[in-house]
């Protein structure tokens, strides 16, 4: 989904990630932050899986529609012409 990130964006994300992993000096806040980040990563993974299932369902639906249309068309190649 966001695979087209620019090089600058990826660099900024790495810098931001390093900053989020630094200790604030408050162990309770650091534990809360770590738990929140873990939960958000889980949610992001679940959402990515949901999007993939949605894409797969759309692909299947489009393929089924194509096959239904194809089955409805008369088959020109099946007619045998006698000479």
Work out the widest C-alpha separation in the chain, in whole angstroms: 93
In the three-class reduction of DSSP (H, G, I as helix; E, B as strand; rest coil), residue 25 is classed as coil
pLDDT at 45: 98
Instruction: Show pLDDT as tens, one digit a residue, over the chain (83 residues).
Output: 455 556 667 777 766 666 777 899 999 999 999 999 999 999 999 999 999 999 999 999 999 999 999 999 877 655 555 55
Among the listed residues 5, 23, 27, the one whose alpha carbon sits nearest the alpha carbon of residue 14: 5
Half-sphere exposure of 63 (CA within 13 A, CB side): 6
pTM over 0.85: no
In the three-class reduction of DSSP (H, G, I as helix; E, B as strand; rest coil), residue 2 is classed as coil
Domain boundaries, the chain: 48-72
């Amino acid at each position: 989904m966001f695979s087209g990130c620019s090089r600058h964006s990826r660099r900024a994300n790495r810098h931001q990630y390093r900053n989020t992993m630094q200790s604030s000096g408050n162990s309770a806040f650091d534990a809360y932050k770590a738990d929140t980040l873990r939960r958000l990563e889980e949610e992001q993974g679940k959402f990515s899986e949901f999007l993939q299932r949605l894409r797969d369902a759309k692909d299947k639906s489009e393929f089924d529609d194509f096959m239904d249309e194809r089955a409805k068309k008369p088959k020109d190649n099946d007619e045998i012409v006698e000479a």
